[in-house]
Amino acid sequence: DVKVTQSSRYLVKRTGEKVFLECVQDMDHENMFWYRQDPGLGLRLIYFSYDVKMKEKGDIPEGYSVSREKKERFSLILESASTNQTSMYLCASRFLDSTFGGRKTEAFFGQGTRLTVV
Amino acid sequence: TQLLEQSPQFLSIQEGENLTVYCNSSSVFSSLQWYRQEPGEGPVLLVTVVTGGEVKKLKRLTFQFGDARKDSSLHITAAQPGDTGLYLCAGVGRGGSNYKLTFGKGTLLTVNP
């Protein structure tokens, strides 16, 4: 079974702190994603990566950065945490099937990190 | 930005009723996926539809991809309390962005016994 592990289930940080959210997958997937989930807003894509050291901005990248130094690990960094970054953060990974150009493959999610910035 | 609009946002029904959830976009996707999420967990894939007009069935759940590959629907027959959860559609980008996965806001379904 594919496993996507997020380092913390719950995290409380102070405004202005630098926050690291870690995500590790064990299935050699090329594609990794960071989303935040807020009530009424669904899952919004922050950043994604399609290979080691490759990253692309999603729909709401402001205030965030990412790092993908190894294939299995994708880190989300909040440079200076603010209260409006209080949210549930979900990491996902996906295999890119070269036959179908990634159209059919499933995204596997971690259990999420509920971050509260006070 | 490719947007996916889901409707309704909330749905509360009695056990045994039928329901349909819609996912619409002005963009064309190479495929569309439906996920279900339970409280405290990440979303889990239910189905992927790839071809325009495609219909897939998963027990009491029927998924359809629009002919133009811009919209999809999920129909549940004789809903059961175990169907309760957040249903999310996700569009897989086309061409060079086929690794991007964009989600709708979700439909929160409650099936009452």
- What digits encode the pLDDT tens for the residues B50-97? 888 999 999 999 999 999 888 999 999 999 999 999 999 998 876 655
Q: What is the pLDDT of residues B10-66, one digit of tens each?
A: 999 999 999 999 999 988 888 899 999 998 899 999 999 988 899 999 999 999 999
Chain A contact for B100 (CB, 8 A cutoff): yes
Partner residue opposite B1 with nearest CB, options A40, A59, A102: A59
Residue B37 to chain A, least CA–CA distance (Å): 10
**Residue B1 pLDDT:** 62
Q: What element of type H or E holds B3? A: none
- Is the model more confident about A105 or about B94? A105
Whether residue A22 has pLDDT greater than 70: yes
Chain B contact for A113 (CB, 8 A cutoff): no
Q: What's chain A's average pLDDT? A: 92
Chain B contact for A89 (CB, 8 A cutoff): no
Are A12 and A118 within 8 A, CB to CB? yes
Pairing of strands B19-24, B5-7: antiparallel
Closest-CA residue of chain B to A106: B45
**Residue A51 pLDDT:** 87
Residues A66-71: what's their mean pLDDT?
A: 96
**Residue A102 pLDDT:** 64
Chain A contact for B108 (CB, 8 A cutoff): no
> HSE of A43 in the Cβ direction (CA atoms, 13 Å)?
28
